[in-house]
Amino acid sequence: MKWLNRLAALLFGLITVGIIRDFFSKHTIIVFDKEEDLEDEEEDMEDITQLRPENYDNAMDLRGTPTHVCACGCNIFNLKVIFYENEIATYFLDMECAQCGSLATAPTPVDYTEGLEN
């Protein structure tokens, strides 16, 4: 009986090792420290007033065709808006890229073309 228990434990161990090996061959486990990541994000975050380029040497005038992504790849723009009853009521069509300073034309609902994605 003692040998039967040892044999069962050995088989159970081998099956478990096989299952674990199969799991790790299909999946990747990533371990990270939450506190360290939060500290990195806080260091990378800038104040909203700093969302403008340091210089405008690479800025372009892209106005004319409405766009939601700048030529530099940035999708954050500085835009002037008018609020009415806690909602955006009106916005100016001239906007400035927060990364490179290029001027662009803001898109409107009329500019939306069915079937076109980002």
80-112 pLDDT tens trace: 999 999 999 999 999 999 888 899 999 888 877
Residue ranges making up the domain that contains 20: 2-36
Rounded CA-CA distance 75/93 in Å is 15
For residue 116, being part of any structural domain is answered with: no
For residue 77, being part of any structural domain is answered with: yes
β-pairing, 87-97 with 61-66? Answer: unpaired
Instruction: From residue 92, give the alpha-carbon distance in Å to each of 44, 86, 105.
Output: 30, 17, 9
* 65 in the same domain as 21: no
Whether this prediction's pTM lies above 0.75 is answered by: no
- What is the pLDDT tens value at each position of the chain, 118 positions in all? 788 888 888 888 888 888 888 888 888 877 776 666 555 555 556 677 777 787 888 888 989 889 889 888 888 899 899 999 999 999 999 999 988 889 999 988 887 776 655 5
Q: Which residues neighbour 81 within 8 Å (Cβ) at sequence distance 6 or greater?
A: 88, 89, 90, 91, 92
**Cβ 114 vs Cβ 105: under 8 Å:** no
For residue 44, being part of any structural domain is answered with: no
